[in-house]
Structure 1
Amino acid sequence: MSNPSSTPSSTLPSFADLGLPADLAAVLAKRGITTPTPIQAATLPDSLAGRDVLGRGRTGSGKTFAFLLPLVARLAGGRSAASTRPRALVLVPTRELAQQVQESLVPLAEAAGLTSRTVFGGVGQNPQVQALRKGVDVLIACPGRLEDLIGQGHCRLDAIEISVLDEADHMADLGFLPAVRRLLNATPKGGQRLLFSATLDKAVDVLVKQFLDQPVTHEADSPQSPVKKMDHHVLRLAREHRLPTLVDLTSAPGRTVVFTRTKHGAKALTRQLNKAGVPTVELHGNLGQGARTRNMEAFHSGRATTLVATDIAARGIHVDDVSLVVHADPPAEHKAYLHRSGRTARAGSAGTVVTLSTPEQDRDVRDLARAAGIKPRITVLEGPGHPVLTELAPGERVLVPGGLVLTPPTQRSGSEGSGGSAGNGAAKRTPQGSGGGRSRSRRGRGGSGSGQAKQGGGQAGQRSGQRSGQRSGQRSGQTRQGGGSTGGRAQGVGQKSRHSAASFSAKAR
């Protein structure tokens, strides 16, 4: 492998200088993307030339376009009319990342006349099978479902020209390496292979040695380097002050991602924040694909202003303008801290990261910061209403009675309960000692209409034999509904001075 290279941002060339075809550069320019990120500038010349590339860049550094641009450029116009087998394979660790990669790929593929398809579990396989039969140029897949389809005879990888492994280190963390090896072994030898990762550890090195042929290695930054525009803070507080502090921070203007260590903790905190009046959705491994999609759509649109997630969302979740990341539970190790924190300060934007630390966690948090290479500002909170909270999350606090209740659409099969929405007005709260902060505005908007769902009391969950083919609540356990209750949908939409309309750019990077 060659020596790592680094390209200073002050001397970054244009996409045209790097050899990107003009039509693809034009697609990027229409979306306000005119300057490559360092990882893109470093890798594009080699990947466009067909070389195997090993690229390392931190979360949010632009790795997605670093492999999509050469992939599309090299495949454009080359399909045989008689061939329906995939020509490019992009392996990713999570379904959310697969969807994000697909969103970034679509406009590029359209410009080049290519087709694409995502393949992952948690949803019915028939649409995926039908798409594969019709013919797909680029296959974006999670290893488990792809192996299932290959085993059933629905897919072959013997026509793959370019293989991409995205988030290779996360693949290793999740135990996917055996499946990844089997899939890459099913692709032709001699095809181009691109491997991108936030860290290059021993597990990744095993894949490099086995599957990449004389790869050119590019490292755009230090594995421990946080984003320059990211401010890190630790709030030391008693456990009983944890929830009031989270309510204060998340009821400020803008989008917030809150991380918990367990799925149960994410579910419980989502319920508590909604009860307190913060429109919140959850994301964790216990949710079905339908619930994940609904929750992410609510967060993308701004109907939910807070996302509570486990580490499943630490990678691959790209949402515009996340101004604040809160580690409600400090992660177990520094790599998880950096990946979680990377949900903010993306594509050149600024962001704030806050870690809550109870007395028994203080030593672990100090060790975590040292390993992550950061020096956070530490503040001791004696109780709610501390002025530092308004400094970290400026603006007027807004609470929406009931928070956000998402009800899934009625299913013909009766697989999920449905309900309407009831309007809720917005209640405003200003914490003690808020001290002003920067001027921002936030509006709470109530939905309209009435919701009637024939649902029994108790926690949402899957039940059988429901009247009208409905189940009591959602599989995700996201909503709590009593007997004959109405579904509520309320919005607390934050408008921030940094809000960007260029969603394509922020999501892709």
Structure 2
Amino acid sequence: MLTFTELGVPAALTQALAGLGITTPFPIQAATLPDSLAGRDVLGRGRTGSGKTYAFALPVLARLAASGRPRRPGKPRALILAPTRELATQIDAALAPLAAVLKLRTLVVFGGVGANPQIKGLAAGVDVLVACPGRLDDHLRNGHASLDAVEVTVLDEADHMADLGFLPVVRRLLEQTPRDGQRLLFSATLDNGVDVLVKRFMRKPVTHAVDSAAEAPVEMTHHVLHVRGDDRFGVLVDLLSAPGRSVVFTRTKRRAKVLTKQLIAAGVPAVELHGNLAQNARNRNMAAFSDGSAETLVATDIAARGIHVDDVALVIHADPPVEHKAYLHRSGRTARAGNQGTVVTLMTDDQQAEVRDLTRKAGVRPTTSRTRPGDPLLAELAPGERRFIEPAAPAPVARTAGGGQSSPRRSASGQSSGQPSARQPKQRTAGQSSGQPARGRGRGRGAGSAAVHTSESSPVAARPSASGGGGNRGRRAAAPARTGQASGGSGSAAAFSSSSRVGGRRSGSR
């Protein structure tokens, strides 16, 4: 296997990569780096998790350092376009330590947050601008930036850009970059109009395809669990109470929100990620998932791409996706960079034909099993002792001398005095909570940390308020008796198995 140095990566970047523990290029990097470092337009095709970020980050930084042109206010020297805030943030996180070695400045720009810090960052001058198309277009229209000094343009997850309807604004942005600049386009597929971008904006691109977007990695094992509707939540609790990080996908934003609350009430710390969350809530929840405060992330397809957290060993399709590409992208949150991973799809009787067609088009042959909560198969899929976290008790109400009520005093940290810390909730094993003996199973699904970096604000690493517990939670064997035990019925199997109608409203959005 070639080294980064042999591929042409400058020594300073090679040393910086080694400092991060990265010494061996992935196939997509080994294939594209010689051409991209030489200044050619490159079309890289590879599925999510194949290592595309460094495949374009390294040539961008190397070429900027070699050209030596100075930063100018409002005129970025390189542009990286990404479809979602999460992907833009993670690209910037990967770039930042490498750019610092070369004394290059990066900035990330996206919507959902205040524009003023971004405007100030652009005015100060930036070498590499990582941006979502909509917010960048706003800045350009308002005169806060210009793309006429861009030396290298990167379009990441181009097919997802097309899926989200961004192609018109992407074309408008690319038309404002110099015609003779280098362009790198990375995509899992070339459908939905991506080929139009290639023909319109790329000059004799060198194409590299290291794997097929229609195939799942061999390191990933696929299981379909055929469950009764009222057993679905209990099966989820059993799987998610085992040690290690898991990502659970739902079809709608409301389902993600409701399921997160149900899991917390059942003693499984979880955080949500969907389009209704403000950016600070997204940052907070991703920080909790990354640092292990909550090892379960419940998400819509917004997290199917661009979310990378190390050691996600289990992906669960609580709601099977609509089409096979979504299945592959969701599943790609595990088995990344050659690691092992397990994908589980929950299927009820009325979903059999849908799931069978879905997996066939995705090119996978899952193992299908009928199961219920407490089935030994669940311990094989997610080994380890099951543990639950007690939701934090509400603060007591103090009575005043006059017989009235007053709010409890808070410490300087905002914690209610006399109450246990939210980051140190009580833990109870399955045997304590349900009368069942705890089933110890070693699986070693590591809870390693992966920092989420944003150049505009540091995400709060504390447990988000949505979660009832904090600290690294262990997981443990959930007995069938736990199903539906949540306070007020919020964690019941019936609540999760019902339709998307909640509180008289039906939600079909993601």
TM-score bracket for the superposition, by shorter chain length: 0.7 to 0.9
Normalised by the size of structure 2, how large is the TM-score?
0.81
**Separation in structure 1 between the aligned mates of residue 443 and residue 326 of structure 2, nearest angstrom:** 33
The residue type paired with residue 39 of structure 1 is I
| Pair 397,181 (structure 1): closer, same or farther in 2 beyond 3 Å | same
| Pair 184,363 (structure 1): closer, same or farther in 2 beyond 3 Å | same
The residue type paired with residue 246 of structure 2 is T
Match of 2:317 among 327, 335, 342: 327
| Pair 340,182 (structure 1): closer, same or farther in 2 beyond 3 Å | same
Which aligned pairs between 1:151-170 and structure 2 lie closer than 5 A?
A: 151-170=141-160
Assess if the C-alpha contact under 8 Å between 1:441 and 1:495 holds in 2.
Answer: no
Assess if the C-alpha contact under 8 Å between 1:398 and 1:428 holds in 2.
Answer: yes
| Pair 403,217 (structure 1): closer, same or farther in 2 beyond 3 Å | farther
Shift, 1:33, TM fit = 1.0
* Residues 118-177 of structure 1, C-alpha deviations (whole Å, 9 max, x = no match): 000000011100011110010000001001011110000000010000000000000000
Q: What value does the CA root-mean-square deviation take over the aligned residues?
A: 2.3
Give the match's secondary structure for 2:184. Answer: strand
Match of 1:68 among 52, 57, 62: 57
The residue type paired with residue 57 of structure 1 is G
Higher relative CO (CA 8 A, sep ≥ 6), structure 1 or 2?
A: 2
**Separation in structure 2 between the aligned mates of residue 82 and residue 386 of structure 1, nearest angstrom:** 61
Task: State whether structure 2 residue 193 is matched by structure 1 residue 203.
Answer: yes
**Separation in structure 2 between the aligned mates of residue 290 and residue 204 of structure 1, nearest angstrom:** 32
Determine the structure 1 residue equivalent to 2:410: none
Shift, 1:438, TM fit = 3.3
Determine the structure 1 residue equivalent to 2:471: 491
Shift, 1:439, TM fit = 5.2
Match of 2:377 among 388, 405, 421: 388
Shift, 1:80, TM fit = 3.7
| Pair 213,125 (structure 1): closer, same or farther in 2 beyond 3 Å | same
Determine the structure 2 residue equivalent to 1:147: 137
Assess if the C-alpha contact under 8 Å between 1:304 and 1:404 holds in 2.
Answer: no
Task: State whether structure 2 residue 219 is matched by structure 1 residue 219.
Answer: no
4+ residue segments displaced more than 2 Å: 77-84, 418-424, 430-443, 487-496
**Separation in structure 1 between the aligned mates of residue 180 and residue 474 of structure 2, nearest angstrom:** 51
Determine the structure 1 residue equivalent to 2:332: 342
Determine the structure 2 residue equivalent to 1:237: 227
Match of 2:442 among 438, 441, 450: 438
Shift, 1:436, TM fit = 5.7
Which aligned pairs between 1:254-403 and structure 2 lie closer than 5 A?
A: 254-381=244-371, 383-402=372-391
Shift, 1:492, TM fit = 3.9
Give the match's secondary structure for 2:283. Answer: helix
The residue type paired with residue 362 of structure 2 is A
Shift, 1:225, TM fit = 1.9
**Separation in structure 2 between the aligned mates of residue 81 and residue 274 of structure 1, nearest angstrom:** 51
Task: State whether structure 2 residue 26 is matched by structure 1 residue 37.
Answer: yes
Assess if the C-alpha contact under 8 Å between 1:237 and 1:357 holds in 2.
Answer: yes
Shift, 1:437, TM fit = 4.1
Shift, 1:488, TM fit = 5.4
The runs of 5 or more residues in structure 1 that have no matched partner are 1-11, 406-417, 444-477, 481-486, 497-509
Match of 1:122 among 112, 115, 124: 112
| Pair 54,82 (structure 1): closer, same or farther in 2 beyond 3 Å | closer
Match of 2:46 among 41, 57, 63: 57
| Pair 36,236 (structure 1): closer, same or farther in 2 beyond 3 Å | same
Which aligned pairs between 1:83-98 and structure 2 lie closer than 5 A?
A: 83-84=72-73, 85-98=75-88
The residue type paired with residue 47 of structure 1 is S
Shift, 1:495, TM fit = 9.8
**Separation in structure 1 between the aligned mates of residue 354 and residue 166 of structure 2, nearest angstrom:** 29
Deviates more, 1:334-343 or 1:422-431: 422-431
**Separation in structure 2 between the aligned mates of residue 403 and residue 390 of structure 1, nearest angstrom:** 28
Shift, 1:82, TM fit = 6.8
* Residues 283-328 of structure 1, C-alpha deviations (whole Å, 9 max, x = no match): 0000000100000000011000100000000000000101100000
Give the paired residue count: 432
**Separation in structure 2 between the aligned mates of residue 104 and residue 441 of structure 1, nearest angstrom:** 24
Assess if the C-alpha contact under 8 Å between 1:398 and 1:442 holds in 2.
Answer: no
| Pair 388,82 (structure 1): closer, same or farther in 2 beyond 3 Å | closer
The residue type paired with residue 56 of structure 1 is R
* Residues 377-435 of structure 1, C-alpha deviations (whole Å, 9 max, x = no match): 11111x21111100000000010011899xxxxxxxxxxxx765544210111697997
Deviates more, 1:73-82 or 1:246-255: 73-82
**Separation in structure 2 between the aligned mates of residue 272 and residue 285 of structure 1, nearest angstrom:** 19
Assess if the C-alpha contact under 8 Å between 2:28 and 2:52 holds in 1.
Answer: yes
Assess if the C-alpha contact under 8 Å between 2:242 and 2:475 holds in 1.
Answer: no
Shift, 1:348, TM fit = 1.8
Deviates more, 1:22-31 or 1:247-256: 22-31
Shift, 1:78, TM fit = 3.1
Match of 2:238 among 236, 239, 248: 248
Assess if the C-alpha contact under 8 Å between 2:385 and 2:442 holds in 1.
Answer: no
Normalised by the size of structure 1, how large is the TM-score?
0.81
| Pair 219,488 (structure 1): closer, same or farther in 2 beyond 3 Å | closer
**Separation in structure 2 between the aligned mates of residue 242 and residue 404 of structure 1, nearest angstrom:** 27
* Residues 430-465 of structure 1, C-alpha deviations (whole Å, 9 max, x = no match): 69799764355999xxxxxxxxxxxxxxxxxxxxxx
Match of 1:187 among 171, 177, 191: 177
**Separation in structure 2 between the aligned mates of residue 82 and residue 70 of structure 1, nearest angstrom:** 18
Which aligned pairs between 1:164-179 and structure 2 lie closer than 5 A?
A: 164-179=154-169
| Pair 419,189 (structure 1): closer, same or farther in 2 beyond 3 Å | farther
**Separation in structure 1 between the aligned mates of residue 289 and residue 440 of structure 2, nearest angstrom:** 27
**Separation in structure 1 between the aligned mates of residue 393 and residue 121 of structure 2, nearest angstrom:** 36
**Separation in structure 1 between the aligned mates of residue 425 and residue 280 of structure 2, nearest angstrom:** 25
**Separation in structure 1 between the aligned mates of residue 215 and residue 110 of structure 2, nearest angstrom:** 32
* Residues 330-367 of structure 1, C-alpha deviations (whole Å, 9 max, x = no match): 00111111110011111221110000001111111111
The residue type paired with residue 136 of structure 2 is L
| Pair 404,66 (structure 1): closer, same or farther in 2 beyond 3 Å | farther
The residue type paired with residue 137 of structure 1 is D
**Separation in structure 2 between the aligned mates of residue 148 and residue 339 of structure 1, nearest angstrom:** 29
Assess if the C-alpha contact under 8 Å between 2:264 and 2:468 holds in 1.
Answer: no
The residue type paired with residue 16 of structure 1 is T
The residue type paired with residue 491 of structure 1 is G
**Separation in structure 2 between the aligned mates of residue 317 and residue 66 of structure 1, nearest angstrom:** 17
**Separation in structure 2 between the aligned mates of residue 347 and residue 71 of structure 1, nearest angstrom:** 22
| Pair 184,439 (structure 1): closer, same or farther in 2 beyond 3 Å | closer
**Separation in structure 2 between the aligned mates of residue 135 and residue 442 of structure 1, nearest angstrom:** 40
Shift, 1:375, TM fit = 0.5
Determine the structure 2 residue equivalent to 1:16: 5
- Work out the percentage of aligned pairs sharing the same amino acid: 60
Assess if the C-alpha contact under 8 Å between 2:342 and 2:381 holds in 1.
Answer: yes
